[in-house]
Amino acid sequence: MRILNVELITVSLPLVSPFTTSFSTQTQRSPLLIKLTADVDGDVVVGWGECVTLQDPLYSEEYLDGARDVLRRYLIPRLYAWQDAGNSLSAETVGHVLRHIVGHRMAKAALEMAVLDAQLRASGQSFASYFGATVNSVPSGVSVGIENSIEHLLEVVGDFLDQGYVRIKLKIKPGWDIAPVRAVREKFGDIPLQVDANAAYTLVDAPLLRQLDAFDLLLIEQPLAEDDLRQHALLAKQMSTPMCLDESIVSATAAADAIALGAVDVINIKPGRVGGYLEARRIHDIAAANGIAVWCGGMLESGLGRAANAALAGMSGFTLPGDISASDRFYKLDITEPFVLDGGRIAIPTGPGLGVEPLPEVLKDLTVHTETVSN
Ligand code: OSB
Ligand code: MG
């Protein structure tokens, strides 16, 4: 393929309710979309990517303006230079072409996603078929933010269960951990339940975290800091709750290291965090080869990212429900046709590429910034 033009489109989506984690409260989401126009064997096709950076560098070091900057100044120009040197570009070569730019995985992932979408749309293949998905739909879990009272949390959880979500993930932080978990267990019984600390604890908190073992959780996600792999291994030895890593797994190499260290029993795979869908697939394969379960995390994606995540999660190693909820869990109006829950599951799109695209009128209304990066 030959890229003709790349547009960076920033949209602003209000959240249906504030979403609080151990690191911030969000009321609005600004995904950076990539609209890539390419010539594939004489056909002009458009591919879409979604960059999952948050507005601020709180979940990882990446942030919205930084992602836009690195895409404009370094990543997209490298793809142009590669093709101008007479090389052919494909999704499978994007990682290689960008390898000298250190970090910026979410920005790289979005660009690779757009190239992959264009490539697959041109050949008429879906993301699901490309990944070798073995199912038509995926079970849908929901990530429940920190609320200001246990009473309200119970209402929120009850509402999600009524909608059919098959697994509840509670965000926790120091001061909001044992009590909310106990309350949810007592009220809702034996539901599939897990917690996510977003790196809010230290190993000194091991005795406290061990109290969670009493609640038969599916897993505890990222209790310690991103670079605390060894300490996660020590904590894992002290707890019976399976140890899951999110922030720490930034690459297939990190996944292999975490497995070798005994720091991880379950991996949350987020394509943006690891530099793209192809690296995500490699992590799935490494985990499967080591008998480690994986599930697909989320970053409050719009319908574009949700479509790709659902396709990825259709691979056979994704044995736990992902954070792939319906569009209306976060957004009243999604930029694509909305994803809906059907019997606790989300259907994987079947059309070429992502199988969904932004609705032009909605995209126009929600766009707050556009720039074109030409060759
Ligand atoms: O840690 O999984 C996380 C959202 C933003 C940043 C980090 C995380 C999350 C979520 C939401 O938990 C998952 C979703 O998109 O539903
Ligand atoms: Mg997480």
Query: What's the CA-to-centroid distance between 274 and ligand 2, angstroms?
Result: 13
List, for residues 286-321, the tens digit of each pLDDT value.
Answer: 999 999 999 999 999 999 999 999 999 999 999 999
Closest to 94 measured CA to CA, from 302, 271, 335, 318: 271
Helix axis angle, 252-261 to 229-238, nearest 10°: 40
- Gap from CA of 153 to ligand 1 centroid (Å): 17
Centre of ligand 1 from the C-alpha of residue 330, in Å: 11
DSSP states of 241-301: SPEEESTT--SHHHHHHHHHHT--SEEEE-TTTTTSHHHHHHHHHHHHHTT-EEEE--SS-
94 to each of 47, 82, 160, 306, how far by Cα in Å? 14, 10, 39, 22
327 lines ligand 1 (CB under 6 A): no
Domain residue limits, the chain: 2-124+359-374, 129-347
What dotted CATH number matches 2-124+359-374? 3.30.390.10
Q: Which two tokens stand for residue 195?
A: 């917690």
Interval 240-282: pLDDT, tens:
999 999 999 999 999 999 999 999 999 999 999 999 999 999 9
Is residue 237 annotated as part of the catalytic site, yes or no? no
Residues 126-177: tens digit of each pLDDT: 999 999 999 999 999 999 999 999 999 999 999 999 999 999 999 999 999 9
Query: Residues 38-53: pLDDT tens digits?
Result: 999 999 999 999 999 9
Closest residue CA from atom 7 of ligand 1: 299
What is the predicted pLDDT for the residue at 375?
A: 92
Choosing from 171, 187, 237, 332, the catalytic residue is: 171
CATH architecture observed for domain 129-347? Alpha-Beta Barrel (3.20)
Ligand 1 contact via 297 beta carbon (within 6 Å): yes
Torsion of CA 95, 96, 97, 100, to 10 degrees: 90
Q: Which ligand is nearest to the CA of 266?
A: 2
